[in-house]
Amino acid sequence: MARLARLKFSMTLSILLVSCIFAVFLGVIMFILRLPIVWALVATLLFLLLQYLISPFIVKGSTHLRYLKPGENPWLEAMVKDLAQKGGVPLPRLAIVPEDTPNAFIFGRTSGDATLALHEGLLRRLNKDEVQAVVGHELGHIKHRDYLVMTMLSALPLLAFWISWGTFRAARWSNISSRNKKEGGLKSAFFIVAIISYIIYIVTLLCIMGLSRLREHFADAYSAYLTGQPKQLQSALAKITYGLSLSPKPTTGARTFYIGDPVRAKQECKDIIKRKDVYDLDRDGVLDERELQLAMEREAKSTWMTINSWFSTHPTTFRRIQLLQEIENEMSTGRYSSNRIYADI
């Protein structure tokens, strides 16, 4: 598991980088507005604490999930328990989201109180082996504790955005008269703060998105090891991507935590659908899983797709499938073991 150090290092580096950027940002803002920096530090700490405390309630409210009662789904409960014991992770609470889209996610404040939420659409569209592979992926997030890091880090770009929005509104709609030099200077300061805040929002968001994409690869590799069936996660990801691309509903606040990002899925499938005739190899009018996988492989090689992926919380589906194929090939040689779970990342 030596390569797991890369994820831990990336998490630590991201935390330090984002924190340093944000600290400098707060110092500059307070200097421009001529306010004590201690106010900004206290406000930021309070905002992070608030994010930590209320984020589970936000996720619950935005997804309308319900918790499973003991014995309600014996197969699912037994399967999750077996995988959790095998992986040595705390058993999460199980919840069902009344959504037809195929998706799943983990959230919570600590590993001990984590919730594993599965969409009804996931349970209907995927077979049991594929559902097991998805569960293995989500347990990987508990194993790596990355969803806790993402919960806290995601608060900083959000705070920068709100500062930008608030100061821009204050500058634009205030009744300050520019004829008064002092008051006009304050209005200009608000505009400068708004611009700087938005730049910090973009920079910190890109840093966090990069970490988010990396953690998905690690969770995929963990699922392959835990279930011993990387091929099942490959087919699950193809089904999830296609299913999400057809959803007319907007994404919710749990987007970062999903196994599949609805926005990413729509982007991936948009151009594929436009060139459906090229990718429909058997000319039956429908893109099956294999045809969709080959299409995603070709689209993923485009420069536009590569640049576009920088602004995504998830890697392209093909990149994820490609990693799983490499793991599957290694498993077939008999050399794959607990020491090489993350070797292909």
pLDDT for residue 76 = 96
Among residues 228, 215, 300, which one has the least CA distance to residue 264?
300
Decide if 323 contacts 234 (C-beta within 8 A). no
- The confidence band for 71, taking pLDDT boundaries of 50, 70 and 90, is very high
Tokens of 28: 């500059």
Give me the pLDDT at residue 291, please.
74
In this prediction, residue 227 carries a pLDDT of 94
Which residue out of 99, 130, 138, 216 is catalytically annotated? 138
pLDDT at 303: 66
52, with CB counted inside 10 A (0-12, 13-18, 19+), is middle
Q: Encoding tokens for residue 163?
A: 């500062």
State the Cα–Cα distance between residues 217 and 212, nearest whole angstrom: 9
- The single residue listed with the structure tokens 């590799």 is 221
- 93: which DSSP letter? E
Tell me how far apart the alpha carbons of residues 273 and 242 are, in angstroms, rounded to a whole number.
10
pLDDT at 1 over 60: no
Give the confidence band of 167 by pLDDT, cuts at 50, 70, 90.
Answer: confident
State the pLDDT confidence band at 103, using cuts at 50, 70 and 90: very high
Quick one: pLDDT band at residue 70, thresholds 50, 70, 90? Answer: very high
Q: Express as a percent the part of the chain with pLDDT over 90.
A: 26
Confidence at 250, pLDDT banded by 50, 70, 90: low
Instruction: Average the pLDDT over each of 55-59, 87-91, 195-199 and give the range with the smallest value.
Output: 55-59
Highest mean pLDDT among 51-60, 96-105, 170-179, 272-281: 96-105
Q: Of the candidates 74, 98, 92, which has an alpha carbon nearest to the alpha carbon of residue 136?
A: 92
Q: Considering only residues 217 and 276, tell me which one the structure prediction assigns the higher pLDDT.
A: 217
Cα separation, 317 vs 72, in Å, equals 32
Six token digits for residue 110: 């600590």
Please tell me the predicted confidence (pLDDT) of residue 136.
96
- Confirm whether 138 is a catalytic residue: yes
pLDDT number for residue 286:
67
Task: Give the span between the Cα atoms of 88 and 83, in whole angstroms.
Answer: 8
Report CA-CA distances (Å) from 134 to 3, 94, 137, 142, 229. Answer: 22, 14, 5, 13, 11
Amino acid code (one letter) for 173: W
Rounded (5°) CA angle 318-215-336: 75
Q: Which phi and psi (to 5°) does residue 118 adopt?
A: -120, 135
What's the confidence (pLDDT) of residue 112?
82
Q: Give the chain's radius of gyration (CA, Å).
A: 22
The pLDDT of residue 234 is above 80: yes
Q: Is residue 178 pLDDT above 60, yes or no?
A: no
Average pLDDT over residues 192-204: 87
More confident residue, 15 or 216: 216
C-alpha span between 182 and 188 (Å, rounded): 10
| Antiparallel, parallel or unpaired: β 104-107 and 66-67 | unpaired
pLDDT confidence of residue 44? 75
CA atoms within 13 A on the CB side of 47: 16
pLDDT single digits (tens) 318-336: 888 888 988 998 888 877 7
112-138, pLDDT tens digit by residue? 889 999 999 999 999 999 999 999 999
Does the structure show a pLDDT above 80 at 187? no
In this prediction, residue 89 carries a pLDDT of 93
Q: Is the pLDDT of residue 163 over 90?
A: no
pLDDT digits (tens, 9 = 90+) for 274-318: 677 777 777 776 666 667 767 777 766 666 666 667 778 888 888
pLDDT of residue 179: 54
List own/partner pairs for 234-238 with CB under 8 A and 24 or more apart: 234/293, 234/321, 234/324, 234/325, 234/328, 235/130, 235/289, 236/126, 236/130, 236/131, 236/133, 236/134, 237/317, 237/320, 237/321, 237/324, 238/289, 238/292, 238/293, 238/296, 238/317, 238/321
Higher pLDDT, 93 or 292: 93
